[in-house]
Amino acid sequence: MTRTLHIDFVSDIVCPWCVVGLGGLQAALETLKGEGIEAQVHFQPFELNPQMPAEGENIVDHIGRKYGSTPEQSAANRAMITQRAAEAWPNFAEGKAFEMRMGPDSRIWNTFDAHRLLHWAATIGPAEQKALKTALFVAHFTEGRTMTDPGVLADAAAAAGLSRDKAVEVLADDLYAAEVRAAEALWVSRGINSVPAVVVEGKWLISGGQPAAVFEEALRGMAGEL
């Protein structure tokens, strides 16, 4: 008998640990299919920097201001996360690992419009939302694009197989803004203050960018309690 878990993946598209966590989660779910355990994954909004202006902020300046890291510590951290992302997602596309190209000139962005677009994708279907989430990760971490540019976000929608024209409409009309704000407030009210936060069946929490083995063990136990 197949057991299907409901998973809410609370995250932000400029969160590198969310890339690591999603890669680990997907690898775990692929393994667990053989045990009759599947999942429906729903991506939920969380803004790491809701007050970030449209022009963004240099990553070294941002990490230094927010966490007190030196430029050297920031560089070492980027290198470590780059390796972790590649390990978590070794067959991301055409047999190649997920590639992060974060450098000292990279920027952190306001992501509210990206979350509006993800909400729209969810109204189409979970596969479409997942494809857009992945495309947004690529646009930010691999391509280093300006994530507050409506054209960039619409390009990501097209790369995910969605209608670019409809994405442009969503972004231009401020659609789903109220829904995204309500969802963000809901997850904060439930105690989520860092991401990625993987909420299973609305009652179990797996925090952080965990490797596949950690997700496997946790999800196996949770499925056994259903």
| Domains defined along the chain, listed by start | 3-224 (3.40.30.10)
> d(Cα 94, Cα 97) in Å, to the nearest integer?
9
Biggest CA-to-CA distance, the chain? 52
**Residues 93 and 131: beta-carbon distance below 8 Å:** no
- pLDDT beyond 90 at 215: yes
Give the model's pLDDT for residue 95: 85
pLDDT (tens digit, 9 = 90+) per residue, 3-38?
A: 999 999 999 999 999 999 999 999 999 999 999 999
Give the model's pLDDT for residue 118: 98
Give the model's pLDDT for residue 226: 81
Mode of pairing for the β-strands spanning 57-58 and 107-108? antiparallel
**Which residue shows structure tokens 């056994």?**
224
pLDDT (tens digit, 9 = 90+) per residue, 56-76?
A: 999 999 999 999 999 999 999
- pLDDT beyond 90 at 86: yes
Give the model's pLDDT for residue 1: 80
Give the model's pLDDT for residue 26: 96
- pLDDT beyond 90 at 94: no
- The mean pLDDT of the chain is 96
**Alpha-carbon 134 to chain mean position:** 8
- pLDDT beyond 90 at 191: yes
Give the model's pLDDT for residue 119: 98
Q: pTM score > 0.95 for this model?
A: yes
| Confidence class for position 152, pLDDT limits 50, 70, 90 | very high
- pLDDT beyond 90 at 179: yes
**Residues 10 and 190: beta-carbon distance below 8 Å:** no
Query: 45 — phi, psi (to 5°)?
Result: -80, 140
Give the model's pLDDT for residue 105: 97
AA identity, residue 102: M
For residue 152, give the 3-state DSSP assignment: helix
